[in-house]
Amino acid sequence: MEMDNLKDLFLDELRDVYHAEGQLLKVLPRMAKKAESAELKTAFEQHTEETRLQKERLEEVFELFEEKPKTKVCKGMQGIVEEGKEMMQEDMDADVMDAALIAAAQRAEHYEIAVYGTLRTYAQLLGNDEAAQILQEILDEEGTTDKKLTKLAEKLNVEANA
135 Cα distance to chain centroid: 13
Is the dihedral angle over the CA atoms 135, 122, 126, 73 positive or is it negative? negative
- Is the pTM of the predicted complex or chain greater than 0.85? yes
Helix 94-125 crosses helix 129-160 at what angle (to 10 degrees)?
Answer: 160
Q: Give the integer Cα–Cα distance in Å for 123 and 118.
A: 9
What's residue 156's pLDDT? 85
What's residue 145's pLDDT? 96
Domains of the chain: 6-160 (1.20.1260.10)
Phi-psi region of 147 (alpha: psi -120 to 50; beta: other; left: phi over 0): alpha
What's residue 106's pLDDT? 97
Spell out the residues 6+ positions from residue 56 whose beta carbon is closer than 8 angstroms to its own.
none
The closest alpha carbon to 99, from 40, 13, 142, belongs to: 40
The rounded average pLDDT for each run of 10 residues, N- to C-terminus, in the chain (162 residues) is 92 98 97 96 97 98 97 97 95 92 97 98 98 98 96 85 72
